[in-house]
Amino acid sequence: MELPPYLMASPDGVPWLTLLVLSPLVGILLVGLAAWLRLDDRMVRLGVTAWTGVPIAIAAVIWTRFDPAATAAGQGVVQLVEKVPWIQAVRVDYFLGVDGLSMPLVLLTAVMAPVAALASWRLTDRVKPHYALLLLLEAAMLGFFVALDFFFFFIFWEFSLVPAFFLIQSWGRENRRYAAFKFFVYTMAGSIGLLLLFQVIYLAMRQVGLPTFNLIELGRLGRGLPVEGATGTLRAIIFAYMEQLGVANVLGRYPLLYTSIAFWAIFIAFAIKLAVWPFHTWLPDAYAEAPVAGSILLSAVMSKMGAYGMLRIMLPLVPDASQYFAPVMGALALVGIVAGAFGALANVGGDLKRLIAYTSINHMGYVMLGIAAAAALPGGATLDSRAIALNGVMVQLVAHGLSTGALFFLAGALHARTGSWSLADFGGLRVVAPTFAGVMGTALFANLGLPGLAGFVGEFFIFRGAWATLALFTALATIGLVITALALLLMFQRIFLGPLNDRWDTLADLRPGEFWTVLPLLALLLLIGVYPAPLMNLANATATQLVAVFQQVLS
């Protein structure tokens, strides 16, 4: 198949992305084999943890094959493309590829999987299915980040819910059924609009002779970039279809109206996943009730799917409505930042995992703010400001994944020692567990955005980018910086400082295995915090091309 200049096949012809998505699935086969052979659970643990190295290795290969600076025809070049016609009747292609938006998240997913596997190390209950589900979740998330045809994109999106649901429901805490159900139904219900929207878009595209679910082509049309076989913008195409259906006669002849409807269908689906206020209430329940491995994958990777969806679909397909509603997104982001921070503060005497969950809502608020800022008017903002906002978003996604993953892992290690999640039960543990305190402190300071660690880089660039377009929201969002810091420091104090609670006189310090699990995450946080260029280079070119469209007034 002849590829347009903005798509580039794998240089060596190897379908690396397919291998990447399949590799965890092969791992599941191996688990099945182990079950069939009645192998010991320990073997499964070890095997799966080792096997998570395979996706990491493949992701590393993809990274080396990926040229982040490549741009063509107004967008970052999508690379290692595999594009095979699949369901001809509805023009569905098996279409995988990576660009600057997906590459960092692919790497993040691959890196977090072994952490999740190691977090389940002490599990004794139904070990094999647990590990199989972890691998399945990894495969679904990897697939989601590399799928570029809506059909597959959506399948991976929905499919990721299944293992997550069962992980929460089967290995979670007391309130797991409610949490799992809420999580599942909420996300599912939110994406109905997205599904319907793409039916409409498909039909509209059919009217202009290019029926497609190809997200790259649709994104190009949305931004008014040329696509072979189609003319006009997606907005015009949708509007023409609405006129043809007669809808425009009823609802009004405003093209923006229809892109706005599309915008809200997309936004709600992804905002739920990203836990944007007020769609966030599933998150504290899900994160808190899930088993530790589930919390890690949910917080570190799954919530990033929402942000990625916005970058992949919302901004390029409906830039005009995104720009129009950017202040609304910014306002929701701000409320989420504040709500997450105070929500965390409200939990300093309560549940450790809920507290971390609320800080996640706060951090995803910054992500939302960055995305809103990249899209927002006014024209005074430079292109660089918008690109900086998105660069900040990408760093924030990775940094939050690493630091929250580490925090959840350590929370789990603490629970394994004490049997408690309640912050009221601890105190003074630094005396008996100094290494634990040091490691958790580092993860915590990375989380609250201490310079020198990755979180700061993300937050700084988001604030820098957002100031240019949404200055007031940016200024108010700093409340979150102070309150989250307060909540996290109080959390640290409740666990580690003060006089030692006599119950934990003999508490074990961090074991070498636990230490070496967290250390790579902390090392990455430090590395990105001190020198973020390697990570930011991945996304910079693609992000810059993506936001160019917002330099004009679109509606």
Partner 1 sequence: MAFFLQSAWLIPVLPLLGCALITFTPLRRNKAASGWTAILLMILATLLAVGLLAATAQGLALRDGQLVTLATGHGEAASHGEAKDHAFSFPEPNVVQRINWAPTGSSLLQLGFYIDTPVAAMLAMVTLTSTCIHLFSLGYMAANPRQSRFFSFISLFTAAMLLMSMADSLLLFFMAWEVMGLCSYLLIGFLYERPQAYRAAIKAFIVTRIGDVLMLLGMVYLYTQAGSLAFGTAAGEIFHPAFLERIGTEGGLLGLSHATGIALLLFGGTIGKSAQFPLHVWLPDAMEGPTPVSALIHAATMVAAGVFLVARTFPIFVADSGAALAVVAFIGAFTALFAATIAVAQYDIKRILAYSTLSQLGFMVAALGIGGWMAAMFHLLTHACFKALLFLGSGSVIHAMEATPVIERLHHKDEYAAQQTAQDIRNMGGLRTRLPWTFWTYTAGYLALAGVVPFAGFWSKDEILADAFKGGHWVVFTVLTVAAFLTAFYMTRQWRLVFFGDYRGERPVVFKNPEASLAPDRHEDGHGHESHGAHGHQNTGAHWHEDPVMIASLVVLAAFAVTGGLFNLPFALPGGHWFASIWGQEALPFSPLVAGISLLVALGGIAAGWTLYGGAFARAADRDPLEARAPAVFQLLNEKYRIDELYQASFVRLTALLALVWAFIDDVILNGIINGIGRVTLFLGRLNFIVDDTLFNDGPDALAGGTVTTGKGARRLQTGKAQDYIGYVFGGAVVLALLYLYVIGR
Q: Which is nearer to partner 1, 224 or 441 (CB)?
A: 441
Torsion, Cα 214 217 221 224, to 10 degrees, reads 160
| Candidates 44-52, 319-327, 412-420, 536-544; binding stretch for partner 1 (CB under 8 A) | 536-544
The DSSP secondary structure of 45-85, one letter per residue, reads HHHHHHHTHHHHHHHHHHHHH--TT-EETTEEPEEEEEEEE
Closest by alpha carbon to 542, among 230, 305, 316, 369? 316
Matching residue, tokens 């009004």? 252
- Choosing from 263, 308, 463, 473, the residue that interacts with partner 1 (CB under 8 A) is 463
Binding residues for partner 1 restricted to 18-57, rule: CB under 8 A: 25, 28-29, 32, 35
Q: Does 100 bind partner 1 (CB under 8 A)?
A: no
Task: Output 15-18 pairs: Cβ under 8 A, ≥24 positions apart.
Answer: 15/82, 15/96, 16/58, 16/61, 16/62, 16/65, 16/80, 17/62, 17/80, 17/82, 17/96, 17/97, 17/98, 17/146, 18/82, 18/96
- Choosing from 9, 65, 94, 211, the residue that interacts with partner 1 (CB under 8 A) is 94
Q: Does 497 bind partner 1 (CB under 8 A)?
A: yes
Contact indicator for 373, 489 with CB cutoff of 8 Å? no
Q: Binding marks (x or -) toward partner 1, 516..535, rule CB under 8 A?
A: ---------------xxx--
Q: Does 435 bind partner 1 (CB under 8 A)?
A: no
Contact indicator for 272, 190 with CB cutoff of 8 Å? yes
- Choosing from 33, 192, 251, 383, the residue that interacts with partner 1 (CB under 8 A) is 383
Least Å distance, CB 399 to partner 1, is: 13
Contact indicator for 497, 428 with CB cutoff of 8 Å? yes
Least Å distance, CB 248 to partner 1, is: 31
| Candidates 43-51, 239-247, 262-270, 376-384; binding stretch for partner 1 (CB under 8 A) | 376-384
List CB contacts of 508: < 8 A, sequence separation 6 or more. 417, 433
Least Å distance, CB 342 to partner 1, is: 4
Least Å distance, CB 545 to partner 1, is: 10
DSSP 120: T
Binding residues for partner 1 restricted to 163-192, rule: CB under 8 A: 166, 170, 182, 185-186
Q: Which is nearer to partner 1, 86 or 240 (CB)?
A: 86
Q: Does 387 bind partner 1 (CB under 8 A)?
A: yes
| Candidates 218-226, 261-269, 304-312, 471-479; binding stretch for partner 1 (CB under 8 A) | 471-479
- Choosing from 47, 129, 219, 458, the residue that interacts with partner 1 (CB under 8 A) is 129
Q: Which two tokens stand for residue 229?
A: 């076989």
Q: Does 126 bind partner 1 (CB under 8 A)?
A: yes
- Choosing from 109, 187, 191, 385, the residue that interacts with partner 1 (CB under 8 A) is 385
3-state secondary structure of 230: strand
Q: How far apart are CA 363 and CA 323, in angstroms?
A: 22
Least Å distance, CB 487 to partner 1, is: 8
Least Å distance, CB 478 to partner 1, is: 4
State the angle between helix axes of 471-496 and 454-469 in degrees (0 to 180), rounded to the nearest 10.
160
Least Å distance, CB 512 to partner 1, is: 15
> Quick one: the chain helix, strand, coil %, rounded to 5?
75, 5, 20
Size of the site for partner 1 (CB under 8 A): 82
